[in-house]
């Protein structure tokens, strides 16, 4: 990263920009590509975490039952790495979007809490959060903003705590999926950022927006399945493209306010 991408460099028609800027409701679906620009390794793909570590030992209910000490040592390390990282320009633009649209949701597959650190409030964490701990006995959830010290950590009831994340072989929370689906269905615009959108049910969210008559704007490093139906696909770093896109949209919004006779789509 580091290139100063100009708003005029984006391949978007003025009509599309007007519709994005004038929308009342929007959402952003984010994946590992956004956090990777903050130095947090992705899980899948070339160079991903699962190339180096056995997910069966570290990210499954069975692996936790067999060796909770090992699992928590790994998650403690991940917490420390994530705490050292900082939100990047894409995270901050997404947080600014929330102040622009009347209705706005961040639908993220990431567990690192970067969106909240950047200032986003309405965040639906599809795969949970590494900063929440859940009691294995009664399901009580505890929030933390620092890496765990005791391994394995214990609930006040004496039972073990586990990371409140979705492991392999576990379903996503029905309430979380329902909240994300509602947001997708009501979005006039969905930005799909840093995700290949191949893992369901997250992959269905932009399709829901599209089928509901909304726009789908993709920002990814390379073409994905979303590219085939997106209204616009912008290829490159999210930390470069989103600031340029947002700058262009805010200029359009300002112009529309100064010329109210122009329809606000």
Annotated active-site positions, please? 127
Tell me the per-residue pLDDT of 172-207, one tens digit each, with 9 for 90 and over. 999 999 999 999 999 999 999 999 888 899 999 999
Q: Are residues 52 and 13 in the same domain?
A: no
Q: Which of 195, 189, 194 is nearest to 238 (CA)?
A: 194
Q: Are residues 111 and 242 in the same domain?
A: yes
Burial (CB count within 10 angstroms: exposed 0-12, middle 13-18, buried 19+), residue 29: buried
For the chain, what is the domain count? 2
The answer to whether the predicted template modeling score (pTM) of the entire model surpasses 0.75 is yes
Tell me the per-residue pLDDT of 208-251, one tens digit each, with 9 for 90 and over. 999 999 999 999 999 999 999 999 999 999 999 999 999 988 87
Say if 265 falls within a structural domain: no
Domain that holds residue 116: 1-39+87-127+173-259
CATH number, domain containing residue 63: 3.30.1600.10
Tell me the per-residue pLDDT of 29-72, one tens digit each, with 9 for 90 and over. 999 999 999 999 765 554 545 456 688 899 999 999 999 999 99
Tell me the per-residue pLDDT of 89-130, one tens digit each, with 9 for 90 and over. 999 999 999 999 999 999 999 999 999 999 999 999 999 999
Q: Are residues 65 and 188 in the same domain?
A: no
Q: Are residues 94 and 179 in the same domain?
A: yes
């Amino acid at each position: 990263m580091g290139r100063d991408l100009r708003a005029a460099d984006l391949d978007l028609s003025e009509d599309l920009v007007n519709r994005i800027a004038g929308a009342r409701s929007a959402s952003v679906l984010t994946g590992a590509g956004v956090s990777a620009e903050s130095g947090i390794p992705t899980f899948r793909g070339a160079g991903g975490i699962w190339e180096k570590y056995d997910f069966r030992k570290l990210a499954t209910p069975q692996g936790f039952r067999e060796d909770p000490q090992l699992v928590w040592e790994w998650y403690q390390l991940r917490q420390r790495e994530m705490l050292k990282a900082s939100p990047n320009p894409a995270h901050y633009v997404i947080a600014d979007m929330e102040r622009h649209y009347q209705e706005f949701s961040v639908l993220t597959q990431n567990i690192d809490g970067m969106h909240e650190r950047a200032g986003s409030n309405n965040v639906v964490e599809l795969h949970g959060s590494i900063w929440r701990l859940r009691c294995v006995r009664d399901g009580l959830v505890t929030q933390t903003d620092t890496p765990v010290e005791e391994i394995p950590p214990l609930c006040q009831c004496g039972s073990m705590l586990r990371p409140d994340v979705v492991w392999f072989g576990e379903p996503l929370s029905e309430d979380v999926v329902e909240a994300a689906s509602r947001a997708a269905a009501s979005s006039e615009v969905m930005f799909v950022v840093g995700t290949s959108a191949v893992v369901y049910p997250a992959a269905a969210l932009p399709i829901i927006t599209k089928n509901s008559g909304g726009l789908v704007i993709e920002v990814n490093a390379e073409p994905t399945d979303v590219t085939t139906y997106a209204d616009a696909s912008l290829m490159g770093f999210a930390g470069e493209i989103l600031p340029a896109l947002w700058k262009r949209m805010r200029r359009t919004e300002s112009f529309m306010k100064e010329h109210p006779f122009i329809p606000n789509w």
